Amino acid sequence: MKNEYFPFPAIIEDIKTETVDTKTFRVCFTDKALADSFNYQQGQFMELSLPGAGEAPISISSSPSRKGFLEFTIRAAGKVTKSIHMLKKGDHIYLRGPYGNFFPFEEIIGKNIYFVAGGIGLAPLRSLINLVMDNRSSFRHIKILYGARTPDELCFKNELEQWKTIPDTEVWLTVDKAGAGWSGRVGVVTELWKDTHIDPTDAVSIVCGPPIMIKFAAEKLEESGFKDKDIFMTLERYMKCGIGKCGHCNIDDKFICKDGPVFTYEQIKSFRTKEHIF
Amino acid sequence: MRGKGGKNMKISKIKIIEKGKIKDLLKEASQEWDVYVPQKFSDGDVWMDQLPEDRQLLDDALENVMLEDADTVISPKDIFFPQLETMLKFKDDKILETPEFSQKLIFGIRSCDLKGILFTDDFYSRNFEDIYYKSRMQNRLIVVIGCLKPPRSSCFCTSANTGPFAEEGFDLQLVDSGNSYFVETGSKKGQEFIDMHKKFFIESDENFDMTVKEIKIKAYDSIELKVDFQEALNLMTQDSFIPEDSYRRISERCIYCGGCLYVCPTCTCFNVFDNFNGKDKEGERLRNWDACVFEGYTREASGHNPRKEKWLRTARRYEHKLKFDYKLTGMSGCVGCGRCLSSCPVNIGMSEFIQEITEKRKIM
């Protein structure tokens, strides 16, 4: 019987500082056979652990179209993530997974895509964004609407610039609070609706961010004419095991780790609970 | 079901074991098995505990074995899902797995607790399989003892259809007939156990079917607490049925200690954490029981807590058992053992919740 809780060592090949509290770690399994055979889908997550510190579920921010490594964009928020932030290039980290469902890909070929993200919520979306960019001709117009609290808290700054240069691709940025040197938009991400036309025709939207942002973005998308089944979002929830056993991430009869983390707005509306999903 | 015998037995004639022989049987069996049996401790509490290996300690422990009227504080789920358990060990950059496969004889559990075990078996066997639970349950033999009278006044097994005698899922079942037990065989494994320990069992040519039936009917009638369990499940599985008012009132009294969930036979939630000794470069990953009524159970690193208000946690506790478990598996997440009520410091229990929603009046 497979021990699903057993993690495998990976080596940290590169660390990129995204913001003051967020880094992207590029890792590769040390076992070559495992590294070669490993597959994942856009939007899935893995359990990352440091023996002694603990384990935390982190979404994969790299695209499955780019082989040979995995990337995790991690904010130092709790005990485990703070310990991971102390690691250096060449150190080991332990992984198990991938877990959870994933964003649609084949189902949305030929469509216009609206990505709406807030803060570190861009990390799981980046997996799909780069997968789409690597298959750019299969998709129509793409808009990335991205907001952060401050300019310093925007992740993937180089890629935001690079995505902009791709034909039929727009990147719209906004920050809650401007600082020195910011000449861009100020306001929450839904304020971008004033600046750019959001057209639901033949379009899907993919949303991730802090709970309150997801709530307002989903409502705004719905208002703009998006059908609930065309609004995809990936949910955050306190998780331990990642495999539907520890119970922490349950909503109604679903486990976010196993039945999610990706849900349509339609599915979320069907939840009976009065809990604060957002 | 009322007065019915086990349906998958009839392997051979009914066996009888004298009560005086039980200790000797357990002693012999303990050479081969890890034996778990209810034992009364000096503080008066009864725990389903493992018999010690040491001969002197074993003799002492056997003196404390308590089969009849045993109200074990917690359900026997901890045999397969211990309150605290090591999952992995870390030593010198190596990670070691620690599943446990010993042969376990679970002797003298109640039919409601058997139902609880079957429930958690199913949960932990579902994709993804949990190797720690599965390895512990792999080599086991379960001997149920039917209840002639309820061990707790809060028992409502006849309503939950889980007792006072088991109908299936046991290897052997003891039916108390005064100085001896009739032994019903529920599986091939159970039969093999009897064959292995033949000298303790008597085989009679007499037909005791009627006697056993009468014992069971009398036992059934001794359970006084009755609730409309099926109606509660029917109500709860309706999407639109959310008794928010009841949840809110319970939340005003509940102190959120989690005791009801620790004693519950079907609660399976756990927390995972690491311990590490920097000096010896040794550590372990452990899991321990957790409970959905705790405020920190759903609190995220960001501070966001989807179940911040107490009543939402109360709703989760009842809806998981009666709504979602039943919807998903056809099995109720409550087995009617009544421990939640008997262990509650402020007198809140599943039976009262069921009464409140089915009788449509304020009880709690």
Give the residue with greater pLDDT, A127 vs A179: A127
- Inter-chain contact A4–B135, Cβ cutoff 8 Å? no
A90 interface with B at CB cutoff 8 Å: no
Asked if pLDDT for residue B4 goes beyond 70, the answer is no
Q: A253 vs B327: CB contact, 8 Å cut-off? A: yes
User: Which is it for the CA torsion B107, B112, B116, B122, positive or negative?
Assistant: positive
User: What is the distance in angstroms between the Cα of A169 and the nearest Cα belonging to chain B?
Assistant: 32
Chain A CB contacts of B324 under 8 Å are: 252-253
Minimal Cα distance from A81: which residue of B? B301
CATH topology assigned to domain A8-99: Elongation Factor Tu (Ef-tu); domain 3 (2.40.30)
A30 touches chain B (CB under 8 A): no
Question: Considering only CA atoms, which of B71, B18, B70, B348 is closest in space to residue B183?
Answer: B18
Does position A109 have pLDDT exceeding 90, yes or no? yes
Q: Which of A52, A94, A211 sits opposite B304 (nearest CB)?
A: A211
Q: What is the mean pLDDT of chain B?
A: 93
Distance from CA of A227 to the nearest CA of B (A): 23
A274–B287: do the CB atoms touch at under 8 Å?
no
Instruction: Tell me what the mean pLDDT of segment A30-40 comes to.
Output: 96
Contacts of B327 in chain A (CB under 8 A): 253
Q: Is the pLDDT of residue B222 over 50?
A: yes
- Percent of chain B at pLDDT > 70 equals 97
Taking residues A251-271, report their average pLDDT.
96
Chain B segment 230-269 residues within 8 A of A by beta carbon are 239, 242, 244, 268-269
Give the CA distances from residue B141 to residues A177, B65, B103, B136, in Å, rounded to whole numbers and listed in that order: 65, 18, 8, 12
Chain centroid to Cα A138, Å, comes to: 21
Average pLDDT of A3-25? Answer: 97
pLDDT exceeds 50 at position B134: yes
**What is the rounded distance in angstroms from the CA atom of residue B5 to the CA atom of residue B15?**
14
In this prediction, residue A278 carries a pLDDT of 87
pLDDT (average), residues A82-111 = 98
Residues of A in Cβ contact (< 8 Å) with B94: none
Q: Quote the minimal CA–CA distance from A151 to chain B in Å.
A: 20
The pLDDT-based confidence of B1 (bands split at 50, 70, 90) is very low
Looking at the complex, report in whole angstroms how far the Cα of residue A136 sits from the nearest Cα belonging to chain B. 35
pLDDT score for A56: 96
Q: Which of A94, A96, A276 to mutate to test the interface with B (most CBs of B within 10 A)?
A: A276
Chain A CB contacts of B317 under 8 Å are none
B12 pLDDT tier (thresholds 50, 70, 90): low
Say what the pTM is: 0.94
What average pLDDT does chain A have? 96
pLDDT digits (tens, 9 = 90+) for B287-346: 999 999 999 999 998 889 999 999 999 999 999 999 999 999 999 999 999 999 999 999
Cα–Cα distances (Å) from B346 to B108, B278, B317, B336, in that order, read 30, 43, 16, 19
CB-CB under 8 Å, B300 with A236? yes
**Touching check for B83 and chain A: CB below 8 Å?**
no
Give the closest-approach CA distance of A176 to chain B in angstroms: 18
How far is Cα B161 from Cα B362, in angstroms, rounded to an integer? Answer: 25
The pLDDT score that the predictor gives to residue A1 is 84
The pLDDT, as a whole number, for residue B225 is 96
pLDDT band at B280 (very low <50, low <70, confident <90, very high): confident
Q: Is B290 on the interface with A (CB under 8 A)?
A: yes
Surface of A (31-50) touching B: CB under 8 A: 49
Contact A245 B270 (CB under 8 A): yes
Partner residues linked to A207 by β-bridges? A116, A233
Q: Do A276 and B302 touch (CB under 8 A)?
A: no
Asked if B88 has any chain A CB less than 8 Å from its own CB, the reply is yes
From chain A residues 6-25, the ones with a CB under 8 A of any chain B CB are 6-7
ipTM above 0.85, yes or no: yes
Judge whether B124 is closer than 8 Å to chain A, CB to CB. Answer: yes
- Is the Cβ of B300 closer than 8 Å to some Cβ of chain A? yes
Q: Which residues pair with A264 in a beta bridge?
A: A232
CATH number given to A106-234: 3.40.50.80
Q: Where are the domains of chain A?
A: 8-99, 106-234
Residue of A nearest to B317 (CA): A252
List chain A residues with CB under 8 Å of B126: 244
Residue B15 and residue B25 in contact, taking contact as beta carbons nearer than 8 Å: no
CA distance A1 to chain B (A): 7
**Closest Cα in chain B, distance from residue A277 (Å):** 6
Q: CB of B274 within 8 A of CB of A54?
A: yes
Give the per-residue SS3 of chain B.
CCCCCCCCCCCCCCEEEEHHHHHHHHHHHCCCCEEEEEEECCCCCEEEEECCCCHHHHHHHHHCECCCCCCECCCHHHHCCCCEEEEEEEECCEEEECCCCCCEEEEEECHHHHHHHHHHHHHHHCCCCCHHHHHHHHCEEEEEECCCCCCCCCCCHHHHCCCCCCCCCCCEEEEECCCEEEEEECCHHHHHHHHHCHHHCEECCCCCHHHHHHHHHHHHHHCCCCCCHHHHHHHHCCCCCCCHHHHHHHHHHCCCCCHHHHHCCCCCCEEEEEEEECCCCEEEEEEEECCCCCHHHCCCCCCCCCCCCHHHHHHHHHHHHHHHHHHHHCCCCCCCCCHHHHHCCCCCCHHHHHHHHHHCCCCC
Determine, for residues B312 and A251 on separate chains, whether the beta-carbon distance falls below 8 Å.
Answer: no
Per-residue pLDDT band at B2 (split at 50, 70, 90): very low
> To 10 degrees, what angle do helices B244-253 and B350-359 make?
150
Given a cut of 50, whether residue B10 has pLDDT beyond it is: no
Selected for mutation to probe chain A from B300, B308, B328 (highest A CB count within 10 Å) is B300
CB B77 within 8 A of CB B115: no
Q: Check pLDDT > 50 for residue B6.
A: no
Mean pLDDT of the region B341-354: 96
How far apart (Å, rounded) are the C-alpha atoms in residues B62 and B68?
14
